[in-house]
Amino acid sequence: MSLSLPCVGWGSGVIRKPEEVEDRMLSHGLPISEAGAFRRYLYDHIETGGFLRAILENNLIRAVQRADHDNGMLLGEWANFVYWEMPHECHGDAEAVLKWLQSPPSDSKKS
């Protein structure tokens, strides 16, 4: 069974399937060590760690405080990745992230 997400509300709409997350992260120069957390957040609506949550909530100060050295140097790329590759309704502020986490994963993502 292949999972995919609808394109409504996406930035460039590149990520459609869970297996594409790593490739899109690499194209932005991001460490794929965070790919599992993004896949779980995107497709299963599961909480991320503090750094990724701060990125999703557009909370620069908290993202800087929680980033390790490598991710701190990549904050601009993280912002571009989230904006262009993820559904707009799953990020932007704390309210949007909480709403995403509390909503059930969509049945429409199953094909």
Q: Dump pLDDT digits (tens) for 30-70.
A: 998 999 999 999 999 999 999 999 999 999 999 999 999 99
- pTM of the model as a whole: 0.81
pLDDT at 108 over 50: no
pLDDT at 10 over 50: no
Give 14: exposed, middle or buried? Use CB within 10 Å, 0-12, 13-18, 19+: middle
Tokens 């049945």, residue?
Answer: 107
- Closest listed residue to residue 73, CA positions, set 27, 30, 23: 30
Q: What separation in angstroms does the CA of 29 have from each of 69, 77, 103, 108?
A: 15, 7, 30, 30
pLDDT in tens, 61-95: 999 999 999 999 999 999 999 998 888 889 999 99
Q: How many CB atoms lie within 10 A of CB 95?
A: 9
